[in-house]
Structure 1
Amino acid sequence: MSLTLDTYRLLGRSGLRVSPLALGAATFGTEWGWGAERDDARKLFDLYVERGGNFIDTASTYTNGSSERLLGEFTRDNRESLVLATKFSTLSRPGDPNSGGNHRKTMFASVETSLRRLNTDYIDLLYLHVWDFTTPVEEILRAMDDLVRQGKVLYVGICNVPAWQVSRMQAIADLRGWSPLVALQIEYNLIERSAERDLIPMARETGLGVVPFSPLAGGVLTGKYSRDDLTATKAADDGTRRAFNIANGGLTERGLALADVVKEVAGELGRTPGQVGLAWALRQPGVTAPIIGARTPEQLQDNLGALDVEFGASHLARLDEAGAIALGFPHDFLASARGRMVTSGDLKIEPRR
């Protein structure tokens, strides 16, 4: 079934309505060596909003703050119609131990900075960006709840955290009457599917909408890279997206093999590989809105074509099989014939609908 950006979805257990594809603003600004200059960033923003998009994702340290500043300029006339998501916890001043982390001091300081840059009185969705392994969960949750009660933040979410910690936090928030987490941002694509073990099932069970970043695996699934890129002599730290993907382990033989399957399916459907990769993520159980990381208006236009992709059963089966991972223990055991036999024997029991 064809979708549109104004076919809105509810975000997790909240009543907030968001577009099925989010616009990622990490490409707004060129401070990281790649990205969009102001004029192109404005074109990306306008194209997304004109098509009915309302869900925009940034973070306090994206492109050294330029991402938020540009969004503050672009949203001046339509702020109330948009859902702006930003994040805190990444280090903003190297050498200052309290300019990063998950604690109350950095959370409040980061939110105040984001409010100024975004030129707004409130943030629709505030994510904890990266787990720091040191801050007590009660401190995080209470500080988040305080920001919600003050009206500076409307909803809270979390990224890059083990599933057991997220479920624990959600239980504590519920028991104490604090603001619940409504969104989980994770890396999820045909190449990186380990979230299917625990993170996505946990999110579905506890009421978090899944918002995947890097749904095209840093561009690998678009077919832009070849096996020559694995052995190229160009400097690995030259500031390009290719270097970024190599450094983060995203450009591998397995990833390129998966990209080949995506290209085959795209050819059969008369679509681009990027559209097929995005459409796969868009239609996975529990997923609310993959984040588009386009750098040019042409890339964004192509990405939005994912909304129109309609898979046949054989196409989905081929993609799922190519990217399948072992779920490991206890998941594989529980799904096995032996696991089912010891709990229900040969009884026929329908799952909960």
Structure 2
Amino acid sequence: MSLKQYYTLGNSGLRVSRLALGTMTFGTDWGWGADKASAREQFMAFTEAGGNLIDTADLYTNGESERWVGEFVRDSGLRDKLVLATKASYSADPSNPNGGGNGRKHLMRALEGSLQRMGTDYIDLYLLHAWDMVTQPEEVLRTLDDAVRAGKVRHIGLSNVPAWYASRMQAVAELRGYEPLAALQMEYSLAERAIENEFIGLGTRYGMGVMVWSPLASGLLSGKYKPSTGGQFGEGRLQTMSGSNNPAFSKFSERNFAIVAELEKVANEVGRSMAQVAVNWVANRPGIATVMVGATKLAQLQDNLGALDFELPAALRERLDAVSAPAPGYPYTFFTPGMQTMLSGAAPLGDKPDGYQAPVRISGPAAGVQ
């Protein structure tokens, strides 16, 4: 696997690198992150290594991330070679009832703001940042489809939504001839494997490439945090944000530190950093299209970019699978081989054998055409 290998995202024709540059750390407005000089170094290192997918969002570091990304792209002269992705949903003005969420009024305003901050005429991949629990999927999809038809967006996707919501939108897109969803951007790591229940199957079956965010569990899997009884686990973003109500930063648990311990052992056995092994594990999981890596320092990013340079032995991969395996909850407890045997009298066979072809019945004008 190489950063210079490009694969189409979902069922779209958009070719993206196996690693993407996440730029939530571009900016210092939140009290942590990379300053402008470091962010520029990371951008140049990523693009020079062959990466072409840059991910940001309208409110990352209060808009600073988008502005810096736009400036770096212009200065590099690489706009046509890069895939720019950004997102919208969150509100920058709590006093405005339509200043956030996924309604048409806000999404259209947010898109114009992103285009202006990045200084570009179009966004290659525009994503809903999160489900607002209010706006109907039909309204969101029509709004995104209009943006594509207007030439301001090339492809669309979703982030942090329920599987049923994504499935409904893709079905409506197919039914009505709207722009289909090309991507699902979801959290996935050794410490967070919930998307395996629904989203991996959804994406592979219905043409949505899964873009992984936080493959290092917000830095937990880099090894810089250690178990503690005093509430101080180490220095970094997770420690700084541990008191927030953002679930993305709630990672300090007995289970997760057990994963960290096993990851450290595996990393030592293969002679790689813990971060490289963690990213490598994610990048080689079924159904994963691209993995976003981000950093506050150039050295961290350079280390992450080495995650594709090696193959993790199967035995070591299985150890990581086992220590991080999530406990199946309802209704997934019904989908085990043992329970499925009770349905048909035999364990599920999975794929049909080679040469098997189910009979095809076609009615209407196309009948008889194979």
TM-score (norm 2): 0.90
Partner of 1:146: 146
Query: Is the Cα–Cα contact under 8 Å of residues 263 and 320 in structure 2 kept in the other structure?
Result: yes
| Match of residue 87 from structure 2 | 87
Q: Please state how far the C-alpha of 1:25 moved relative to its aligned partner.
A: 0.7
Instruction: List, as ranges, runs of 4+ consecutive aligned residues in structure 1 with deviation greater than 6 Å.
Output: none
Deviation at 1:250, TM superposition (A): 1.3
Aligned counterparts of 1:229 and 1:170: Cα–Cα separation in 2: 47
Query: Any idea what the Cα deviations from partners look like across 1:1-39, whole Å, max 9, x if unmatched?
Result: xx2211112101101100000000111111111111111
1:244 Cα deviation (Å)? 1.6
Change (3 A) 1:304 1:240: closer
Counterpart residue type for residue 244 of structure 1: M
- 2:280 alignment partner in structure 1: 279
CA deviation profile, 1:104-161 (whole Å, cap 9, x unmatched): 1111111101001111100000000011111111111101000000000000000111
Is 2:293 aligned against 1:292? yes
| Number of matched pairs | 347
Q: Structure 2: which amino acid aligns with 1:108?
A: M
Distance 2:322 2:3 in 1: 29
Larger Rg: 2
Asked if 1 retains the 8 angstrom alpha-carbon contact of 2:20 and 2:53, the reply is yes
Displacement after TM superposition at 1:348 (Å):
8.1
- Cα separation, 2, equivalents of 1:350 and 1:21: 30
* Cα pair 2:126 2:156 within 8 Å, conserved: yes
Which residue does the alignment assign to 1:162? 162
Deviation of the 1:328 alpha carbon: 2.5
Corresponding residue SS for 1:231: coil
Identity of aligned residues (%): 47
Return 86-95 or 222-231, whichever deviates more. Answer: 222-231
Inter-partner Cα distance in structure 2 for 1:310 and 1:136: 43
Q: Report the AA paired with residue 41 of structure 2.
A: K
1:229: how far off?
A: 7.5
Cα distance change, pair 347–111 in 1 and its aligned pair in 2 (3 A) = closer
Cα displacement (A) at 1:334: 2.3
**SS of aligned partner of 2:124:** strand
Offset at 1:204? Answer: 1.5
Listed as ranges, the gaps of 5+ residues in structure 2 are 355-370
- CA–CA separation in structure 1 for the residues paired with 2:237 and 2:52: 29
Cα gap change, 1:187 to 1:347, in 2 (>3 Å):
closer
**Aligned AA for 2:52?**
N
Question: Which secondary structure state, in structure 2, belongs to the residue aligned with residue 90 of structure 1?
Answer: coil
Equivalent position of 1:28 in the other structure: 26
CA distance in structure 1 between the aligned counterparts of 2:243 and 2:282, rounded to whole angstroms: 22
**Cα 1:257/1:116, change in 2 over 3 Å:** same
Tell me, yes or no, if the aligned pair for 1:275 and 1:309 is still in contact at 8 Å.
no
Is 1:133 aligned to 2:133, yes or no? yes
What is the alpha-carbon distance in structure 2 between the residues aligned to residue 230 and residue 82 of structure 1?
Answer: 45
**Root mean square deviation, CA, Å:** 1.9
Following the alignment from structure 1 to structure 2, what is the Cα–Cα distance between the partners of residues 57 and 183?
Answer: 13
**8 Å contact 2:341–2:347 — kept in the other structure?**
no
CA distance in 2, matches of 1:351, 1:124: 35
Q: Paired residue for 1:120? A: 120
Q: Which amino acid aligns with 2:40?
A: R
Provide the residue aligned with 1:44 in structure 2.
Answer: 42
CA contact (8 A) 2:122 2:153 kept: yes
Mapped partners of 2:348, 2:19: distance in 1: 39
Structure 1 contact 189–281 (Cα < 8 Å) conserved: yes
After TM superposition, give the deviation of residue 341 of structure 1 in Å: 4.2
Gaps of 5+ in 1: none
Q: How far off its partner does 1:265 sit? A: 0.3
Q: What code does the residue aligned with 1:8 have?
A: Y
TM score, norm. by length of structure 1: 0.94
Task: Supply the distance in 1 between the matched residues of 2:225 and 2:165 (Cα, whole angstroms).
Answer: 36
Mapping for residues 1-353 of structure 1, pairs under 5 Å: 3-76=1-74, 77-228=77-228, 231-232=231-232, 240-245=237-242, 247=244, 248-343=249-344, 345-346=345-346, 349=349, 351-352=351-352
Contact between 1:26 and 1:293, CA under 8 Å: does it hold in 2? Answer: yes
Show CA shifts across 1:195-226 (max 9, x none): 11112221121111111111000111111001
Distance 1:38 1:150 in 2: 33
